[in-house]
Structure 1
């Protein structure tokens, strides 16, 4: 299969899918490649903040995602010994402290809206194998496989929106450095008990963070921080004491936890790290989202950063095509616009992780009270 487009986006997650929509809307011929065969894969970073919400509203997409299903978080709570000791509520003028949007709901809207444009094409189940270069070393497209079929795409610009283990970044020989956070994360998903309110609940267990994220559709996503690289040893031990600590922190989850977490196989391990790349672009190719600046799970910044990248990159690509300039200098305008904010958030994540235990310190009473 041989195809041609102005832009080929590798990665059909929220950032890549939104960029595909924005480019198609501008009349730019766009092909999006996604290695998964469907949009309902398990995805942990599904919380929008005000930035992500603002971008979706900017393009009249928010209401459509709302129709597909989302859930506004009413507050963030910190629990100790079965009691709330600290509460964070929406800021003045805000309706929520975060929005849970299942990835399949967000992607279904972005894909549906993109397909209304004839200049848009989506290839699912398609894996990139190599980039194509001209005699000057500029990227001019790529090769991929779709099942047993080879796909060759000629494009003016290739975008790597393919996540923390980006194939495009590797093939383009764009360097990156990783930042260790000292912990890994275990995820589990359970049905929420009756009457469970849309909240994010935090606890401290053995000096480590335990977080409960209410999800649209009647579920709770549980995230346990564990020591980095400790899971192989932990998995050899009984999971029962681990679960009992969770129940002790949140007794109302006793029944649903016992019913739905019955072995280590009910957990999903996430190796936690963030990354930074010294450059985000070369001639004909640019990376964005986690490919350019992997975020840790703290604060759920990752999906929102990818959405902001897509918003900025759509205009940069439009300008590049109008000027017939696909140079690294032109494409690095994304880096100029977004690097400082992304790295600032990465620093905030490290600070939040380092000071998490401070949320559980009870203020001392004034003298004489």
Structure 2
């Protein structure tokens, strides 16, 4: 390999979302030269995954970031309550988890990403390039050697030992690597919009589901980040019926919103989330790895997307950081990461797909479940809420930063004045 072909970075990551930023932070904290590419000029985009589960709060604690994170503008939820066919049910009680991480957090994703960017910038080997879009892979003898990028100043190449696609469900690098996900049919889409809280709001409620529809009401302090499930591809029909029909559907499903639905005055206030579930059969090739939505798009059911993406990042860091320090990225280590993470993904996606069937029934005016099922859920709720708290909040195979990997940190954190912290 000629000198000009030598990798300039240990790792280059396409995508400044939760997976990319956490992986970048971890690698830079281990003294590795890492570049994160974010195609936008900032992180400020609405209706992104904002649910941070207890497992992620625990990970932040392992990195010494927990208390700083909890100072951000966020909402802590000790339980997840839903109104099912007119009956309030506690679906998950996170207070049954081990303290101190026994709550779920709703935090605007742009605040979370800006926080991670500030913390990672303290490591001298961390680089975040905004307004920089990954356009293709550098390939040499079937080995990925880096990425071609487009910046406001033109194109350039960034060579790296490992290239990571964390650029979401429409991943450019995944396609460039010749990896095509298997798509699993989804019968629903979700409309997202903001609504002010009504006067005298009810207790914090995840959502309302019945034969009149399904509406989400995520508490944002002074407002609800709201969603409504519709049939897949049903937006055009709904738009043709007019905003009045949308407001009527909302108040039928969630009567508590009747005083505030009038604030929806324009379709520009309504964003469509085209719900997808897909998964790569192979997440890697020599010199390349896909993680997060680039490897497996998750449904919004249970709000696990952010947390699964972060778990992927931690698993990859644990497996590969020592090898990257030695200038290699063994393909068998990448394969091992897929094997470790694939089982939790498959289980969750299967449950989500079954959940879509119930949601689809509600979205089309049918009971989402027989009356006896709702009665059993309500009666068994005290027991079920402990199980669901662990299943949703901690997960099937939670990842932790390995002491050996964390102990390999070779860099020094900069103080604000430029001095390093040992």
Distance 1:112 1:194, change over 3 A: farther
Deviates more, 1:333-342 or 1:347-356: 347-356
Shift of 1:255: 3.1
Q: Which residue of 2 is the match for residue 77 of structure 1?
A: 81
In the alignment, the residues of structure 1 paired with residue 131 and residue 305 of structure 2 have an alpha-carbon distance, to the nearest angstrom, of 23
Shift of 1:192: 2.3
Q: Which residue of 2 is the match for residue 210 of structure 1?
A: 215
Q: Which residue of 2 is the match for residue 130 of structure 1?
A: 136
Distance 1:200 1:317, change over 3 A: farther
User: Are residue 185 (structure 1) and residue 185 (structure 2) matched?
Assistant: no
Q: Which residue of 2 is the match for residue 110 of structure 1?
A: 116
In the alignment, the residues of structure 2 paired with residue 30 and residue 359 of structure 1 have an alpha-carbon distance, to the nearest angstrom, of 53
Q: Which residue of 2 is the match for residue 334 of structure 1?
A: 337
Q: Which residue of 1 is the match for residue 258 of structure 2?
A: 254
Shift of 1:167: 0.7
User: Are residue 90 (structure 1) and residue 82 (structure 2) matched?
Assistant: no
1:1-369 map, 5 Å: 4-79=8-83, 83-91=86-94, 92-93=96-97, 98-134=104-140, 136-193=141-198, 196=201, 199-204=204-209, 206=211, 208-215=213-220, 217-259=221-263, 261-355=264-358, 357-358=368-369, 362-363=374-375
Which TM-score applies when normalising by structure 1?
A: 0.90
Structure 1 residues 49-75: Cα deviation after superposition (integer angstroms, max 9, x where no partner): 222222222212222111122211243
Which TM-score applies when normalising by structure 2?
A: 0.79
Kept in 2, the 8 Å contact 1:128–1:142? The answer is yes
Shift of 1:222: 1.1
Kept in 1, the 8 Å contact 2:84–2:374? The answer is no
Deviates more, 1:297-306 or 1:87-96: 87-96
Structure 1 residues 129-176: Cα deviation after superposition (integer angstroms, max 9, x where no partner): 111012x22111111111242121111110000000111100111121
Q: Which residue of 1 is the match for residue 420 of structure 2?
A: none
Please list every run of 5 or more consecutive structure 2 residues that lacks an aligned counterpart in the other structure: 360-367, 380-422
Q: Secondary structure at the match of 2:93?
A: coil
Shift of 1:314: 1.1
Q: Secondary structure at the match of 2:169?
A: coil
Please list every run of 5 or more consecutive structure 1 residues that lacks an aligned counterpart in the other structure: none
In the alignment, the residues of structure 1 paired with residue 79 and residue 305 of structure 2 have an alpha-carbon distance, to the nearest angstrom, of 20
Deviates more, 1:4-13 or 1:236-245: 236-245
Of Structure 1 and Structure 2, the greater strand share is in: 1
In the alignment, the residues of structure 2 paired with residue 110 and residue 173 of structure 1 have an alpha-carbon distance, to the nearest angstrom, of 31
Deviates more, 1:161-170 or 1:2-11: 2-11
Distance 1:362 1:335, change over 3 A: closer
Structure 1 residues 304-349: Cα deviation after superposition (integer angstroms, max 9, x where no partner): 0011111111122213224543242222221021111111111121
Deviates more, 1:29-38 or 1:64-73: 64-73
Kept in 2, the 8 Å contact 1:320–1:331? The answer is no
Kept in 2, the 8 Å contact 1:50–1:98? The answer is yes
Shift of 1:302: 0.5
Distance 1:90 1:139, change over 3 A: same
Deviates more, 1:234-243 or 1:11-20: 234-243
Distance 1:359 1:314, change over 3 A: farther
Distance 1:118 1:90, change over 3 A: same
Shift of 1:228: 0.7
